[in-house]
Structure 1
Amino acid sequence: MMKKLFLVDAYALIFKYYYAFLGRPMRNRDGMNTSVVFGFVKFLRDIQKRERPDLLGVAFDPKGGSFRRDIFPEYKANRAETPEDILLSVPYVKRVLEAMCIPILEVEGYEADDVIGTLSQKGVAAGYDVYMVTPDKDYGQLVRDNCRIYKQKGADGAIEIVGREAIREKYGIDDPVLVRDILALWGDASDNIPGVPGIGEKSACKLVREWGTVENILDNAARIGGRQGEKIAEWGDRLRLAKRLTTICLDVPIPFREEELTVCEPHLDELRAVFAELDFKAFLNDLANLAPPEPLSDGPRQEDQRQLAEMARAKSAAAKKAALVGQGNLFGDPVVPLPGPVPAAELQEEAEAMQLATAQTTPHEYTLVPNAARLREVVSEVARYEEFCFDTETTGFDIFNDRIVGLSLAVEPHRAWYVPFREEDAAEYAGIVRPLFEEERIAKIGQNVKFDLMVLRRLGIEVRGRKYDTMILHYLLDPESRHNMNALSEKYLNYRPIEIETLIGKGQKQLTMDLVNVERVKEYAAEDADITLQLKRVLYPMVERIGLERLYSEIEEPMIEVLASIEMAGVRIDTAALAEYAVELNRRMAELEAAIRAEAGEPSLNINSTRQLGEVLFAKMRIAEKPKMTRTKQFCTDEEYLQTFARKHRIVDLVLEYRGVKKLLSTYVEALPQLVNRTTGRIHTSFNQAVTATGRLSSTNPNLQNIPVREEMGRRIRRAFIPSDDDHLLLSADYSQVELRLMAHLSGDESLIAAFEHGEDIHAATAARLFGKPLGEVTPEERRRAKTANFGIIYGISAFGLSQRLEIPRKEAREIIDGYFASYPKVKEYMERVVGKAREEGFVTTIFGRRRYLNDIASHNAVARGLAERNAVNAPIQGSAADIMKIAMIDVHRRFAAEGIRSRVILQVHDELVVDMLRSEQERVTAIVTEAMESAAKLRVRLVADAGVGGNWLEAH
C-alpha cells in the first residue's frame, strides 16, 4: 500500500463552513461564531480517522496577496469584504492546528493553490499518493494518476475522490492540465478573471477538446468559425493573461521534507485551553483520541520520525520568530503576531469543569416501580411536593397508533422513578396516576410537554396546573440556539445524558420495552426526568431575571394546551378530489414539458436537470448576456433567478409554470393523502413553538402553513380541506393587515394611524400620498406599487429589491421609497430608532417583551450588518403579530371550553385561524373568534378580523 500525503486548502474549507452554518451559526458563551472552527476541526479529525495519512499539511493564503495581483491588479478585486466572523475564526483555526501539531504551510507571495500544487508534484515524485483537500475546481489541472482531489459532497458529508476519470467525464479532456485552459477561456467570476465574451463552460470545453491549449487556439483562431473565432483573436493578450492567472504555480520555494509534514503528538494543554474557550465540549471529551492514528501504509511509524518532526517544527518556529523581531512586512507595516493561546493555567479550572459528567460518574438513585402497589406509594410521595417532573416513553411519535410503555417521575435532583407500562397494566396505572396529574396546585415540568400531554390525554388523563416546559423556557432565552434536552444538559448542567442508541441500536427509531431491557430503559427514562427537573431550576430563574416570566406564563405556557388540542383534532381532506386534481396536473405537466422542448429545440431535454436546462437557456438561447453562475460554475437556474426573466422569455415562463405544477403535485396533491392517519382518518400536523426566531408558530409533518393561496392552481388545494362531517362547516378568520397596523402603532405616525382610523384602503391611501392625487383617482397599478412598498418597508426592502419586485428602474424605486418616508416620516424615525437601540443593547423586543438577539448588528461586514438591521426593524412587528395571534388563540380556546362549544380550532396559518364549526354554533363561534382576535391587544389603531364560512377552506377564506 502506497503512503498517503494529504494537503488541505485552509480558506476553501473555512469559507465552506462559514456559509454552511450561516443560517444557524454555533456560538460560544461569549457570542463568538464558532461554526468555522468547529466544522474545520471536525473534518480534519474525520480525515485523520478515516484515511490515516502518513503526511499532512494545511496551506493558507499569505497576507498581502500573491504574484497574480502584481500582474493583474484587478485579480479578486470584485470580492466582497471578508466576513468578520471568518477574520475572527482564522487565528483560532491556526491555534488548533498548532496545538494538534499539524503542519501549517504558508509562503509569502503565493496562494495556497500554488503551495499545494508544488508539494503535490514533489509528493508524487517521492512515491506518495497525494490527496488535495478542497472543493475548488481550479485544482483539476493538478490531477494525475497518484494525485487526486478529496472533497465532501452533498449534505450527508459523503466523500468524493476526483481523479482522471472524473475530469474526463466533466470536461471531456484526457489531460487534466488542460483544465487551466478551459478556465482561461471561460473565465472565473469568483477571481475576477474575465473569459472570452460569449464563451461559457460548454464552449470552452469544446474548443479545448478540439484545439488543445490556449496558445494553439490563438494560433488557429482564423480557422475557428464565425464570431467566436473573431472574439478569440480580438481577446488574444487578455486570454494569455487569463491563462497565467489560472495556472497553478509548481515551483514555489518550499522544500518537500517528510519530517516537516509529519503530524506529531498534540499539545493537550493548549488544545484543552482553546476548546474550553470555544465551548467545544465534544472535542474536550475526545482529547484522549486526538493523537494522530497510525497510518495504514506499509511499515510502522517510527517514534524517532515523530521526534524529528517535533524538532523540525520547533526549529522552524524559532527561525520565523527570530526573523520577525523588529521587522515589518513587504509594505513596511509592523508585524502583528496572531493572538496566542490563553495561558493554560488560567483556563485549567474552567476546562476541568467542562469535562462532562455522566450517569457513570454521578451518584444517583433511579428506582424501578414494579407493580401497582408500589406505584400508589410513589404517587403519594410525589403528591407532597409543589412540583414534579415527568416524561413518557412511547413506541413512536404517532400518538393515535403507538403506545405508552413507560412513565418517569422526579421531584429532587439525582432521584427519579421509572414506571414500565405493559399493555395489560396501562388502564390500571393510568387510573392510579390520574389524580396526580389533574391536581391543579401541583406544577408539572417537562421537556416538550405538548407531546407528553397528548400521550396522557389518550389515556384519559388531563394535565392540569402550571406547566414548565424547559424547551420553551430556553427558546425565550436564546431563540436561535438548539433546545433539545441533550444540548441543554451539556450547556447548563455540564452533564452528558445517555444516548437512545445505546438502548435500541443505531438507526432504530422505535422503543420496545420488555422485561429483558427494562433495567437499561429505567436508567435512560428516569435520567430524562431528573435532568429536565434540574434544567427547570436553572432556566426559569433566568427567565425571571430578564423579565420574561409574563411572556411565558400568559402566552407560551397556555399555548401548550391549545396546540395539543389543535393537533389532536386534526384536519379532514377530500382524497378523491385530490386524486382527480392529480390527473389534471399531470396532464398539464406533460403539455408544459412538450412546449418547453419545442421552444428550446431540444426533443430530449431533461427539464429536471439543472445542468441541461442551464445550458439551453444561457449557452444556447443566451437569454442573459452575463448569466449568474453557481459555486460549482454551472449556470444558475433557481426560481428566484429565473423570475428575473419572467414575462420576457416564453420558455422561462413555461419552466416556472412547470416547476410550480410539479411542486404542487409532489408536495401537496400526491403527498397529503399519504399522510392521513389510519386511525383517525385525518391529517395531524405538528405545531412548533420553539423554532422561529420571531415567535411565530411553524408547522411540520406536514407543513400546512405553506398551502398556496395566491395562484389559482394552489388555491384549489384548499378546496380539498373539508369539515369533519355534514353537520360542520369551516370558518376562516384572519387579521386585516396586522403588521401594517403594528407599524402604525410602534411608529406613532399620524398619517398612517389616520388612514386606519378612517377605514381607508391603506394601500390606496399610501398610493394617493405617493403619487399626489385624490384617493378616488388611484389606479390599480399605483395601488399595487404602494402595497409592495407598504409591506416591503417592514422588511427593510432596498431600492434594488423594490425595483426587482415592481419591474421598474432602480431610480424610480428609490423615488417611491423616498416618497414613502416623506409621506410617513415617523416610520423612518422608528426604523432609525429601533436600529440604534438594537446596536446599544444587542436585541430588540416585541410589545410583549419577546427578545430577538442580533449578534451582527455592529458587525464590520456590511452584508451581515444589513441583515441584522432589517431584522431589528421587522422582528418587533412580526414577533408582536405572532404574540397577538397566540393571545387570540388562547382566548378562543378558553371561551369554547367555558361555554361548552363543540366546534374546534383545527389550523393556524400565520394571521389566520380555521375552525371546524358545528352548523348550529355558527353565530356564537363567529362572534367568539372575531371578538377574541380583535381584542387580543390594545393598539393605537383597531385590530380587525375578517371571517368567512364555507364547505371547504377555499370557500371559507
Structure 2
Amino acid sequence: MSQKRLFLLDAFALIFRGYYALIKNPRINSKGQDTSAVMGFVNSLFDVIKRENPDHLAVAFDKQGSKDRLEIFPEYKANRDETPEAIKIAVPIIQEILKAMHIPIIERAGVEADDLIGTIAKQAEKEGYQTYMVTPDKDYAQLVSENIFMYRPARMGNGIEIWGIPEVQKRFEVERPEQVIDYLGMMGDAVDNIPGLPGVGDKTAKKFIAAYGSMEGLLANTDQLKGKMKEKVEANAELGLLSKKLATIILDCDVTFNAEDYEVSKPDIKKVSSIFEELEFRRLTDQLVKIFSEETSSTGTTGNKEVSKKQTSQAGAGQFSLFGDTEQPGETASHSSRKTIANTEHFYQSIAPGMAMKLFLQNLLKQENVCFDTETTGLDPLTAELVGIAFSWESGKGFYIPCPENREETQELIEQLRPFFEAENITKIGQNLKYDIKVLAKYDIEVKGVLFDTMLAHYLINPDMRHNMDVLAETYLNYSPVSITELIGKKGKNQLSFRQVPVDKQTEYAVEDADITFQLKEHFAPELIEASTISLFEDIEIPLLRVLAAMEVEGINLDKEFLQSLSNDLDNDIKDLEQKIYTEAGEEFNIASPKQLGIILFEKMKLVDKPKKTKTGQYSTAEDVLSYLAKDHEIIQNILDFRGLSKLKSTYVDALPNQINENTGRVHTDYMQTVAATGRLSSNNPNLQNIPIRTERGRQVRKAFVPRNEEYTLLAADYSQIELRIIAALSEEETMIEAFKNGEDIHASTAAKVFNVSLDEVSREQRSNAKTVNFGIIYGVSAFGLSNQTSLSRSEAKELIDTYYKTYPKLRNYMSEQVDFARENGYVQTVLGRRRYLKDINSANAIVRGAAERNAVNAPIQGSAADIIKIAMINIHNKLKEGNYKTKMLLQVHDELVFDVYKQELEVIKTLIKTEMENAYKLAVPLDVDLGLGNNWLEAH
C-alpha cells in the first residue's frame, strides 16, 4: 500500500502571491471587483488537486497575528504595509469556496499559519504520512524532513519545486534543515521585522553556520571573530537569540491532526459554481466540473509529472486532414502538429503550393467567420515583410501559409488570398487587426467585410486589464501560449528573424495564435452584449480601427532642418541654465543626478527644514516636490526648466528625425485604442499627445510638422471647451448651458457670477481663477490644489469653490449622483455607454475611495469627449473617401484633428470638417469647433 499524502496550504502566502503576480494585470470583473487574489489562490488550489490527486488536504489561515511573538517582541511585523483592500475582501470569499468544496480550514486566533502547519505536519509524520507544505515562504524549510516537504508553486502554472532535505541543504548550505532557523535568526527578515545580527547577510550567515553550527555556537566562539564584526555580534547577542526565537516555527499549537477530517471528498459543485458565477470565473467553473466529475486516474507523481507534451509529425499519405472528411494525398500539407492545449487535442497544418492550396482556398471561402494572423520580419508594419499567414475557423484547428522570401513571389501568393480578404460576407477575426491591415496594405490588399478584434472587444469588456493575447489566453482559456522569444531569442544581436525559424515551428506558433484568438472571439462576443457595449464595439471602435490604420499609413511630413536649428538653440538654453544653477549652488555638480541634486538643495542650501525622502533614504527631487518649492526659490525653477528642455530635446527634437520612415520620408505615429481606460486615444513612436505646449520651446516642436508640399496646407480643427460643454449638458445646469448657447466666454461668465461683478468688469486674474476652477471641478480640485495653482490663499480658494457650487447647484448634484451611481453599480458610463469600472468606490480607505470618487465624475466627461471625437473622425474619414478627396486626416491629439488639405479643396473641406465635428453628437449645449490654417502645425493651431 502506498504512503498516504497530506497537503497543507498556507492560505495567505498563496493569496498574496496570486494578488501580486497579477498586480500589473489585475483581474477585474464586470462589477468592478478585483478578483486577482481569489483567482490566484483558486488556481494554486486546483493545480495541486489536478497534479497530485491528494488523499488529504487542508488550508491554514493566519488570524490576528502571532500572540506569542508579539509578547516577546511588540515590533514583530510592525513595518508591513497595510493589507490591500482586494485581499481583505478576498479572504471571506476564499473561505466560502473552501467550505463549499468541503476542504477543512485551520484557523486559531493569535496563531500564524506556519505554526499551525508545522504542528500538524509533525503530528502527521508520526502517523506515517508524507506531508507537503504548499507555500512559497522559505521559512518552512526548517520543517523539512524525510517525510515533510516544501511544495513551492511557480508562477502562472509553470510547474512546481519540491524541497526535500537535499534541496534545503543546497539552498541554505546547512547540514540539517533545523539550521535554517539559525540562518534566519542571524540574517533577520525585513518583511517580518526580525532584526537579526547587524551586518550579517546571506553569505555571512552561511559562513557562520558552517563554522559554528548554530546561533549559540557562534555566540560561544566570538573570540574567533575579528574587528567590527566581533563587536557587533557580541553587542547584539541577545538580539540574535531573540531573532532565532522569532524565526522558529512553533510545533505545539492547540490543533490536532485528525485524518478523517482532512480526507478529500467531492465538493458541492453547484454551490462552488454559483460562487464562481458571481465572481465571473467561467474557466474555473469548467475546470471544477472537469476535475471532480471524472474519476482521476493519476497517482501522486510529485515533481515528475510532465506539464505539457508536443508531438510533431510529417503529414503523409492517408493522414487525417482538416480539409474535410476525405483523406487527402501526401501533398495536402507540408507539416502538421498535434498538441494538447487546454486539455484538448489540436491539429495544425502548413499548406504547400498546388493542390493543397487549391483545396484550402475552396474551404476558406465557404466560411462565415475566419481568424487570421500575419507573421512578419519585424514589429513595424510599414517596414516588415510577410513571413506567413495563419488561419483558424474552428477551435483546435488551423492552417499556416508560409510566404517566400522573394517579394514578387509573395505578392503572387497573396493574390490567391485576395478573394478572401476582400470578401464582404466573411467576418475577419484578429488580435490587434490594425497591425495586420497595415501589413497587408503594403501588398495592395484591403481587408473588407465585418471585423472582430479581440483586443478591442476585451478593452470594452474590461478596460482596466491588459489586453495582449498571452494575458487573455491565460485569463479566459487557462492556457499559456508559446512565447515568441522561445523561437527567436531575446532582444539583441543574436535574435533571429521569424523567417529564420523552421517552418514546422512557425506553424505551431502562428496557428496557435490564430486558434486562441478564434476561441477568444467566441468567448467575448456574448460578453460584449452582456456588458451593453456591443454598439460601441461595432459602431465606434471597429470603424475607428480602419480610420487609424489609414492615418498611420499616411504619416506626416517633417522639417528636419528646422529641428536641427531648434536642437542647437536648446543646447544653448540648457548651457545657460546650467551656469545659472552652478552659480546659485556655489559649485558644479551633476544636475541630472537626484542624489547629488538632493544633497545640494537640502543639505548644503537647506531650502526646507524637513525634506521629503524616498524609500531608499535619498532626498526626493521628484517633479511634485520641486514644483511646490519653485515659486520661492529661483534655483528650483531653473532646475525644472533644465529638466523640461533636456527632455524636450532628447524625446522630440533629436528623436523625431530618427523616426522618419526611409520609404515614405514621413513619421508615422501609432495610435493605441486600448490604453486609456477613459476611451481616449494615446499615441506612440512618436508620442504626439505629450508634446508640451505650455512653454514657448515646447510649442516650437509643432512648427516642425509641415504639409506634404506647396500644393497643401495644414488645417487644425479643435473642439472648444468640449469637456465643460459636456458637463454642462449632463448636469443640466441651465446657467452654464445658456452661457454656451449665447456664445459667451464661459470663463468670464463664470467669473462674473462667482465674483458678483458685471461681465465687462471681470479682471484678467478673476477670469484666470474662474478658468482654473471650471476645469479643476472636473478633476475634483480641492481648496489646497486650487491654492497651489493660483495666487489665492487656501481659505480664498475654499470660498471660491463654495461660491462656484452655489452658482451652479445642479453641477454639484450631478457629481453626487455620479458617485452614488458608481457605488451602487461599480461603474460609470459615457453618453455612448462606455463603462469605467471603479473597484475602489466603496473602499474603507478614504484616500483610495476619494480617487475613485473623482474618477466617477471625471471619467464620463473625458470618455464622452473621446467618444464624440471618434464619431467625428469616422464620419470625416468616410466623407473624404466617398468624395475621393486628396485631403487626408493625419493626426488626432486630445480634442484636435490635423489635416493635410489640398489647397484647391480648402473651402469645401473646411465646411465638411466643421459640420461633421459640430454635429457628431447632439447635446443640450452646442459643440463649437475652431479651425486654423498654416504652413506648419504651430501656425495652424
Question: Would you call these one fold, judging by a TM-score over 0.5?
Answer: yes
From 453, 459, 463, the equivalent of 2:443 is 459
From 793, 799, 806, the equivalent of 1:815 is 799
Partner residue in 2 for 1:284: none
Q: Does the 8 Å contact 1:444/1:466 carry over to 2? A: yes
Partner residue in 1 for 2:474: 490
**Shift in CA distance, 461/124, structure 1 to aligned 2, threshold 3 Å:** closer
Q: Does the 8 Å contact 1:124/1:146 carry over to 2? A: no
AA of the residue aligned to 2:134: M
* Alignment partners' CA distance in 2, 1:775 and 1:546: 46
Partner residue in 1 for 2:540: 555
AA of the residue aligned to 1:570: G
* Alignment partners' CA distance in 1, 2:752 and 2:580: 43
Aligned length: 756
Matched, 1:629 2:663: no
Partner residue in 1 for 2:520: 535
- What does residue range 602-641 of structure 1 map to in structure 2 within 5 Å? 602-603=587-588, 605-641=589-625
- What does residue range 310-349 of structure 1 map to in structure 2 within 5 Å? 313=251, 315-316=252-253, 318=255, 345=267
**Shift in CA distance, 375/67, structure 1 to aligned 2, threshold 3 Å:** same
Partner residue in 2 for 1:283: none
After TM superposition, give the deviation of residue 615 of structure 1 in Å.
1.6
- What does residue range 765-780 of structure 1 map to in structure 2 within 5 Å? 765-780=749-764
Q: Does the 8 Å contact 2:187/2:205 carry over to 1? A: yes
After TM superposition, give the deviation of residue 500 of structure 1 in Å.
2.2
After TM superposition, give the deviation of residue 573 of structure 1 in Å.
1.3
Partner residue in 2 for 1:882: 866
Matched, 1:840 2:820: no
From 365, 385, 394, the equivalent of 1:383 is 365
Matched, 1:727 2:711: yes
| SS of equivalent residue, structure 1 residue 835 | helix
Matched, 1:143 2:199: yes
* Alignment partners' CA distance in 2, 1:496 and 1:946: 50
**Shift in CA distance, 931/811, structure 1 to aligned 2, threshold 3 Å:** same
**Shift in CA distance, 642/62, structure 1 to aligned 2, threshold 3 Å:** farther
Matched, 1:681 2:618: no
Partner residue in 1 for 2:86: 85
Q: Does the 8 Å contact 2:187/2:197 carry over to 1? A: no
Q: Does the 8 Å contact 1:375/1:432 carry over to 2? A: no
Q: Does the 8 Å contact 2:421/2:448 carry over to 1? A: yes
After TM superposition, give the deviation of residue 441 of structure 1 in Å.
1.9
* Alignment partners' CA distance in 1, 2:874 and 2:625: 41
Q: Does the 8 Å contact 1:140/1:177 carry over to 2? A: no
* Alignment partners' CA distance in 2, 1:320 and 1:818: 64
AA of the residue aligned to 1:566: M
- In structure 1, stretches of 5+ residues that fail to align are 1-9, 43-57, 106-121, 151-173, 181-212, 214-243, 262-311, 322-339
Q: Does the 8 Å contact 1:369/1:375 carry over to 2? A: yes
After TM superposition, give the deviation of residue 345 of structure 1 in Å.
4.0
| SS of equivalent residue, structure 2 residue 498 | coil
After TM superposition, give the deviation of residue 136 of structure 1 in Å.
10
Deviations 1:314-363 (A, max 9, x none): x4463899xxxxxxxxxxxxxxxxxx999984579865669998833532
Partner residue in 2 for 1:394: 376
Matched, 1:665 2:649: yes
Partner residue in 1 for 2:553: 568
* Alignment partners' CA distance in 1, 2:580 and 2:20: 38
**Shift in CA distance, 891/148, structure 1 to aligned 2, threshold 3 Å:** farther
Q: Does the 8 Å contact 1:123/1:130 carry over to 2? A: no
* Alignment partners' CA distance in 1, 2:238 and 2:705: 60
Deviations 1:194-226 (A, max 9, x none): xxxxxxxxxxxxxxxxxxx9xxxxxxxxxxxxx
* Alignment partners' CA distance in 1, 2:741 and 2:232: 67
**Shift in CA distance, 571/131, structure 1 to aligned 2, threshold 3 Å:** farther
Deviations 1:791-836 (A, max 9, x none): 1110111222112222432221111111111011000000000110
Partner residue in 1 for 2:789: 805
Q: TM-score, normalised by structure 2?
A: 0.73
Q: Does the 8 Å contact 1:357/1:495 carry over to 2? A: no
Q: Does the 8 Å contact 1:12/1:135 carry over to 2? A: no
From 384, 387, 412, the equivalent of 2:394 is 412
AA of the residue aligned to 1:694: T
AA of the residue aligned to 2:556: V
After TM superposition, give the deviation of residue 127 of structure 1 in Å.
7.5
AA of the residue aligned to 1:660: G
Deviations 1:665-702 (A, max 9, x none): 11111111111112221111111111111111111122
Partner residue in 1 for 2:134: 100
Matched, 1:255 2:245: yes
Partner residue in 1 for 2:36: 34
Q: Does the 8 Å contact 1:935/1:943 carry over to 2? A: yes
AA of the residue aligned to 2:374: T
**Shift in CA distance, 138/826, structure 1 to aligned 2, threshold 3 Å:** farther
Matched, 1:513 2:499: yes
**Shift in CA distance, 919/638, structure 1 to aligned 2, threshold 3 Å:** same
Q: TM-score, normalised by structure 1?
A: 0.72
From 935, 942, 945, the equivalent of 2:926 is 942
- What does residue range 713-752 of structure 1 map to in structure 2 within 5 Å? 713-752=697-736
After TM superposition, give the deviation of residue 411 of structure 1 in Å.
2.0
* Alignment partners' CA distance in 2, 1:776 and 1:15: 61
Partner residue in 2 for 1:589: 574
Percent identity reads: 42
Partner residue in 2 for 1:788: 772
Q: Does the 8 Å contact 1:142/1:177 carry over to 2? A: no
After TM superposition, give the deviation of residue 534 of structure 1 in Å.
1.8
* Alignment partners' CA distance in 2, 1:33 and 1:531: 23
AA of the residue aligned to 2:549: A
* Alignment partners' CA distance in 2, 1:548 and 1:391: 25
From 407, 422, 433, the equivalent of 2:404 is 422
**Shift in CA distance, 502/619, structure 1 to aligned 2, threshold 3 Å:** closer
* Alignment partners' CA distance in 2, 1:178 and 1:85: 46
* Alignment partners' CA distance in 1, 2:930 and 2:64: 60
* Alignment partners' CA distance in 1, 2:787 and 2:265: 54
Between 341-350 and 377-386, report the one with greater CA deviation.
341-350
* Alignment partners' CA distance in 2, 1:574 and 1:666: 17
Deviations 1:494-525 (A, max 9, x none): 333333233323447654336x7112211221
Partner residue in 2 for 1:695: 679
Q: Does the 8 Å contact 1:727/1:918 carry over to 2? A: yes
* Alignment partners' CA distance in 2, 1:720 and 1:840: 49
| SS of equivalent residue, structure 1 residue 731 | strand
- In structure 2, stretches of 5+ residues that fail to align are 1-10, 45-61, 96-111, 118-132, 141-177, 207-226, 273-283, 292-306, 310-338
AA of the residue aligned to 1:100: V
* Alignment partners' CA distance in 2, 1:890 and 1:612: 51
**Shift in CA distance, 615/745, structure 1 to aligned 2, threshold 3 Å:** same
AA of the residue aligned to 2:579: A
* Alignment partners' CA distance in 2, 1:349 and 1:900: 53
After TM superposition, give the deviation of residue 447 of structure 1 in Å.
0.8
* Alignment partners' CA distance in 2, 1:861 and 1:888: 40
Partner residue in 2 for 1:233: none
After TM superposition, give the deviation of residue 60 of structure 1 in Å.
10
Q: Does the 8 Å contact 1:132/1:149 carry over to 2? A: no
